[in-house]
A and B are shown apart, each in its own frame.
Chain A
Amino acid sequence: MVTAATAGKLTLRQVGKIYADYQGGAINALEPVDLDVAPGEFVAIIGPSGCGKSTLLRLIAGLEKPSAGTLQVDGAPIAGPDYTRGLVFQDPMLFPWKNIWHNVATGLEARGLLAGQKDEVDQFLALVGLADFAGVFPHQLSGGMAQRAALARALVNHPKILLLDEPLGALDALTRMTMQDEILSIWAQRRTTMLFVTHDIDEALYLSQRIVIMSERPGRIKDIMAIDIPRPRRRNAPDFFAYRSRLLALLGVGEQA
């Protein structure tokens, strides 16, 4: 299953987004941003609430049209949503009336591939540790298990890029750490390009190769920080401290002496 990333290069040039508000006014959600993500890279995006992180992901997913600028994947412009850019929300958003197996199979079924790739569904269920829960309905799962099912539902389509919008935001600290490790191991196996929005500085530091720091509305990219901590990373490694202080300063959250 180990495949080196050959695709999933993301190129954003002067991408801006202005929403129309309900009174006919304009909300400047995203100032023109430039961003390059290499194939197979793990990038975290962090920033204050309302700074346009979700907007950025939705633009990349193709769910939203940019008001300005261009977005390309592997040199081709993004025309609209498709399975090559998978999406995972904070809420698992499993279909409550489908069992876990059928939830995960949704994408393959939609593209008429299910008949030939049923074992693919089983494989990905096993990958996220839900092999024994194939026939179970979402309301019978814990939050962490449901989120793993959502992850499998996105991964089974072999996306080039996985867009994760605070995927672990609703989980308790312990489950969260387990899930972080699972995501890292999936990434190590599949080398999918990862764009991971989070509010948690430690999570960003633990997971990513680079952190995109966005500023208050209208959203801009304030800084991009490369995290050169060797892997496997230890959560309490001293290397984290220097990065953390720099990040806190950039986010304008001064440390109290």
Chain B
Amino acid sequence: MELVLKLAGAYRHSLAAGGWGWKRLVLPGVLLALWQAVTAGGLVRPILLPSPLQVLDAFVAMAGSGELVTHLAASFARVLEGFALAAVLGVGLGMGLGIFPLLFATTAGIIQLIRPIPPIAWLPLAILWFGIEEGSKVFIIALGAFFPIFTNVLDGVRQTDHKFVELAKVLEVPRGRFLAQVVVPGALPFIMTGLRVGLAFAWMCVVAAELSAGMKGVGYMLTDARALAQTDKVIVGMLAIGVVGKTMDCVLHALEKRIVRWKTSFTGA
């Protein structure tokens, strides 16, 4: 409960800091009202689209019974594991391939061959190799999150300004120091972007993997509810993914702002 209060506080704070306050709530409010109007007027059948209040009821019931938390926690744990794996590999390989041309020459071909394969296409193999419940899902998530992270990190290393390279030579900056003080900080905004996109991919992959196999997780909860024609539960599950995903992205975004303070970003014209 304390955590929830803290999060709410942080959210209100971020609203205030953004300086837009209530304006952010206009569109969601309008959509909600529209949704309520459409469903209350009997225009659509509840099985196709239940009303917001029905969804709220379902949410309260699912939250109370612990069903929501159980499934969400299962998915969340998988995302964390897969994403952590992808972050380590993606940042490591992205840096490595960007810095060492030999490593790039020998491995880039294979990586580019694997990239177009949708992560979910690995599911049959992954189940055989890593088991149907945890292993296969973590594998799929890691694979899905890896490529955006890897690609962005590699690009981040690549975009190091050539003049910085020349300057470093003239100033006799040793290679290790050059990498640590010029290449890595210059690549940081790209690394953070990669991590954020990677995290979004991780959520897509976990749901896709859980839809296809297993007995736990938000994806499983969605298929189960659909099979029982509990559309309200489906919507609760979807919204839960949105909220948790957005919250995690906010954490990364706050981290990014802290790390990349030297950059002024474009906030719109």
Contacts and interface: CB of A to CB of B under 8 A. Distances in A.
A61 B188 CA distance: 30
Contact of A61 (B170, B173, B181, B262): B170
A95 B170 contact: no
A87 interface: yes
A218 B169 CA distance: 27
Give the dominant DSSP class at B's interface.
helix
B26 interface: no
Interface in B225-253: none
B171 A93 contact: no
A91 B172 contact: no
A26 interface: no
Given A139-B262, A139-B264, A106 B169 contact: no
Contacts of A157: 171
A81 B263 contact: no
Given A96-B262, A139-B262, A139-B263, A81 B169 contact: yes
Interface string B142-176: 00000000000000000001011011111111100
Contacts of B170: 61, 63, 81-83, 85-87
Q: Interface extent on B, as a size class?
A: 20 to 34
Nearest to A111: B172
A157 B174 CA distance: 16
A83 B185 contact: no
Given A110-B173, A110-B177, A111-B172, A137 B262 contact: yes
B182 interface: yes
Nearest to B182: A95
Given A97-B262, A137-B262, A89 B163 contact: yes
Most chain-A CB neighbours within 10 Å: which of B167, B173, B264?
B167
B164 A95 contact: yes
A97 B180 CA distance: 12
A107 interface: yes
Given A137-B262, A139-B263, A83 B167 contact: no
B263 A107 contact: no
Contacts of B164: 93, 95
A64 to B, nearest CB: 10
A139 B261 CA distance: 11
A152 B20 CA distance: 43
A4 B25 CA distance: 70
Contact of A63 (B161, B166, B186, B264): B166
A107 B171 contact: yes
Contacts, number: 60
Q: Interface extent on A, as a size class?
A: 20 to 34
Contacts of B188: 97
Nearest to B161: A93
Contact of A110 (B171, B261, B264): B171
Contacts of B174: 110
Contacts of A80: 169
Interface in B180-194: 181-182, 185-186, 188
A92 B211 CA distance: 54
A91 B166 CA distance: 13
Given A63-B170, A81-B170, A85-B170, A93 B262 contact: no
Contacts of B262: 96-97, 137-139
Nearest to A61: B170
A106 B173 contact: yes
A86 B161 CA distance: 18
Contacts of B167: 87, 93
A85 B185 CA distance: 26
Contact of A107 (B172, B181, B182): B172
Contact of A96 (B169, B171, B263): B263
Contacts of B264: 139
A143 to B, nearest CB: 15
A65 to B, nearest CB: 13
Contacts of A93: 161, 163-164, 167
A47 B164 CA distance: 26
A82 B166 contact: no
Contacts of A137: 261-262
A58 B188 CA distance: 30
A102 to B, nearest CB: 9
15 contacts: A61-B166, A63-B166, A85-B170, A89-B163, A93-B161, A93-B167, A95-B182, A96-B262, A97-B188, A97-B262, A98-B181, A109-B177, A137-B262, A153-B171, A157-B171
Q: Which 10 A-B pairs have the closest CB atoms?
A: A107-B171, A81-B169, A110-B173, A97-B185, A97-B262, A81-B170, A87-B170, A96-B262, A137-B262, A93-B163
Given A83-B171, A97-B262, 14 more contacts: A83-B170, A83-B172, A89-B163, A93-B163, A93-B167, A95-B181, A95-B182, A96-B263, A109-B177, A110-B168, A110-B172, A110-B174, A137-B262, A153-B171
